[in-house]
Amino acid sequence: MQTWTEKVILFVWCGFSYVFLLSPMVVVMGASLHGGEFSAAIKFPPDEPSFQWYSKIPTEQFEALALSLLVAAVATFIAALIAIPAALGLVRSNFKLKFAITSVFRAPLQIPAIVSGIAFLQLYYLIFDTSGLMLAGTIPGMLLGHVFIATPFLFGTIVAVLQRFDHRLEEASYSLGAGRWRTLYRVTLPTIMPGIYSGGLYAFMVSFADVPMSIFLTAPGFVTYPVELFYAMENDFDPSILASSSIVIVFCLAMLLVVQKVVGLETLLRSGGGSAR
C-alpha cells in the first residue's frame, strides 16, 4: 500500500506534469477571448472577455483549415487502402524476411519528417526535370507526402488488432458456407474495424498537425493550416490566430470523443500512439 507521503509526492509531481502539459492550450483558448483593442501583448487571463476575434478570423485561415481537413481526410483514406491489405498479408502469411518487409512499412516513422520533406521536394524536382510535371504545391503532391507519414500509424494499429484475432471466427464462417470474399467483408473486416478507426484517427491527426513535411510542399495560396500558423508566428501576430487555434483544439477534442463513442477509449489507448511507433 502507498503511504501518505508517497501519495502527496506523486500527486504534486503529477499535478505539475499536467499543468506543464496542458497549460499552453488552456492559455491559448483563454487569451483568444481577449477584449479591447489589438495589442501585441496578448494577455492571459483576458481583461474584458469577448468573442470579437472569432468574427475577425481572416479567410486565408479558413481556406488553410479547409485544405488541411481535405488533405488529412483523403490521405487517411488512401493510407487505409494501403495499410489494411498490407497488415492482413503480413500477419497471415509466413515467410522469411518478414522482419525486413515490416521495417519498410514502418520506415516513415524512423525518418525525421523534415528529412522526408526535403526528400519529397527533391523527388518532385527530379520528376519535373524529366517529365515537366510539377507536384510541389499541388494537391496530389501534398497527398503523396501525407500518405507517406500517415500509413505507419494505420499499419501499426491494424497489425496489433490482427495479432489478437480469433481464427475460429473465420473457420466458423467458412464452415457455414460463406466464401472467401464474403468472410472477408462480413467477418474479418468488421472485427478489425476498431483498429482501423483508432489507427485512422492517429493517421488523420498526424497529417492534420504536420508542419515539417508540408512546409516544403506548399505554394503561395496553397498552404495547410499548421504551416499558415507557423508563418504567421514568424511574421505578424494577430489575436484572430488564437481564435482559430481554439477552434482547432475543440475540433481535436471532438474527434477524440467521436472515435471514443465508436470504438471505446480502451481500444483507442491500447492500439494507440505507443504501439504505432
Partner 1 sequence: MENRWIAYLIPPFIVTLLLVAGSQFVFIQNSFYQDLGLGRTGTDLTLVNYLKFFTDSFYLKTFWITIKVSAIAALLTLFLGFPIAYVVARMKSKLAMFLLAGIVVSTFVTIVIKVFGLIIIFSADGVINKTLLNLGLIERAYSIIGTQEGVVIGLMHFTIGFSVLLLYSVVVTVPPSLEYAAQIHGASRLRVYQRVIIPLCAPGFVVGGLMIFNMCMGAFTSAALLGGGRVLTLPVLVQRTVMMEVKYSTAASIAFVLLVSVILINLFSLIAIRRLRSARLVVA
Interaction with partner 1 in 45-74: which residues (CB under 8 A)? none
Q: Nearest Cα to 163, choosing from 277, 274, 270? A: 270
Residue 110 touches partner 1, criterion: CB under 8 A: yes
Distance CA 178, CA 194 (A): 23
Residue 10 touches partner 1, criterion: CB under 8 A: yes
193 vs 209 by CB, closer to partner 1: 209
92 vs 186 by CB, closer to partner 1: 92
The DSSP call for residue 222 is B
Residue 269 touches partner 1, criterion: CB under 8 A: yes
Residue 229 touches partner 1, criterion: CB under 8 A: yes
Whose cell is 472577455? That residue is 49
Distance CA 10, CA 19 (A): 14
Binding segment (CB under 8 A) for partner 1, from list 47-55, 57-65, 69-77, 83-91: 83-91
182 vs 277 by CB, closer to partner 1: 277
Phi and psi angles of residue 222, each rounded to the nearest 5 degrees, phi first = -135, 80
Q: All 3 cell numbers of residue 100? A: 525486413
Contact between 239 and 25 (Cβ < 8 Å): no
Binding segment (CB under 8 A) for partner 1, from list 47-55, 56-64, 131-139, 225-233: 225-233
Judged by CB under 8 A, the residue of 172, 189, 233, 258 near partner 1 is 233
Judged by CB under 8 A, the residue of 8, 22, 176, 219 near partner 1 is 22
Nearest distance in Å: CB 177, partner 1: 18
User: How many of the chain's residues bind partner 1 (CB under 8 A)?
Assistant: 95
Residue 208 touches partner 1, criterion: CB under 8 A: yes
CB contact set of 28 (below 8 Å; sequence gap of 6+): 242, 245, 246, 249
Subset of residues 125 to 144 that bind partner 1, contact rule: CB under 8 A: 125-126, 144
**Maximal C-alpha separation, the chain:** 73
Q: Nearest Cα to 148, choosing from 171, 174, 121, 127? A: 121
Residue 162 touches partner 1, criterion: CB under 8 A: no
Judged by CB under 8 A, the residue of 116, 157, 173, 271 near partner 1 is 116
Judged by CB under 8 A, the residue of 104, 132, 163, 236 near partner 1 is 104
Residue 262 touches partner 1, criterion: CB under 8 A: no
Nearest distance in Å: CB 92, partner 1: 4
Nearest distance in Å: CB 170, partner 1: 11
Residue type, 215: I
Phi and psi angles of residue 219, each rounded to the nearest 5 degrees, phi first = -145, 165
Residue 90 touches partner 1, criterion: CB under 8 A: yes
Contact between 143 and 69 (Cβ < 8 Å): no
Contact between 192 and 165 (Cβ < 8 Å): yes
